[in-house]
Amino acid sequence: MLNANDVKKKSNTEEPQTIPQTVSNEKETIKEELKDYADKRQNSSIIGDTHTRSTYLISDDTLEKLEDLVAHIEATNGLNSELTKGMSKEEINKGRVLSKGVKSKIVNYAIQSFLNNYEAQEGLIPNTKHKRFKVSNKNHNAYKFTQDGVTYGITQDHRGKELSFMSTANGNTIEEINEWFDSIEDQSKREGRPRKK
């Protein structure tokens, strides 16, 4: 968990900063791993077929630092740049691939790295089915998942208070839980034209 007191605020004066090296692989730096990720992503498929646009709130400090990194990557990976002299053609091309759509690549890489680390520490993330449905104009949530050989069905109200709990460990059958979950109409997808502001 990030502690706001541990985050160094950006100052208006330029001063050298020491940046901690976070390397998950002894052979590659985080920058090299990101370049490899960008290269694999570039060659794997059409982005529109394998990616979905999503919107999240990001803290201003994090976003400012991300914008600085993006600008730095773009500035230092230009064509015929003085900064790339002495690099092999392959290294230059990897840098160019990285600089195109770099923000999306960084976000995807960071989330995938987090998920890999989470699973390494906590175990595989269960495939959790989720449906949202309305009760008296409030969104309620239904969840179904199997973990450690036990299947669960859980309902929560709009504040996250558990309303019902089913489990094969408590005598419910998988068929009962599946029938219960299948009977709920998923109302989480918005339909129609967005409202005008």
Each residue of 83-114: pLDDT tens digit? 888 888 888 877 777 777 888 888 988 999 99
**Rounded-to-integer distance, Cα 110 and Cα 116, Å:** 10
pLDDT at 159 over 70: yes
**Rounded-to-integer distance, Cα 154 and Cα 161, Å:** 10
Residue predicted with more confidence, 170 or 188: 170
Three-point CA angle 4, 6, 8, nearest 5° = 95
For residue 28, the 8-state DSSP code is B
pTM above 0.75, yes or no: no
**Rounded-to-integer distance, Cα 36 and Cα 163, Å:** 46
Query: Each residue of 21-65: pLDDT tens digit?
Result: 344 446 678 888 887 877 777 666 667 777 888 888 999 999 999
Structure tokens at 72: 């730095």
Domain boundary assignment for the chain = 26-122, 129-182
Banded pLDDT at 160 (limits 50, 70, 90): very high
Banded pLDDT at 4 (limits 50, 70, 90): very low
Structure tokens at 147: 């973990």
Banded pLDDT at 147 (limits 50, 70, 90): very high
- Helix, coil or strand: residue 102: helix
Give the pLDDT of residue 173: 97
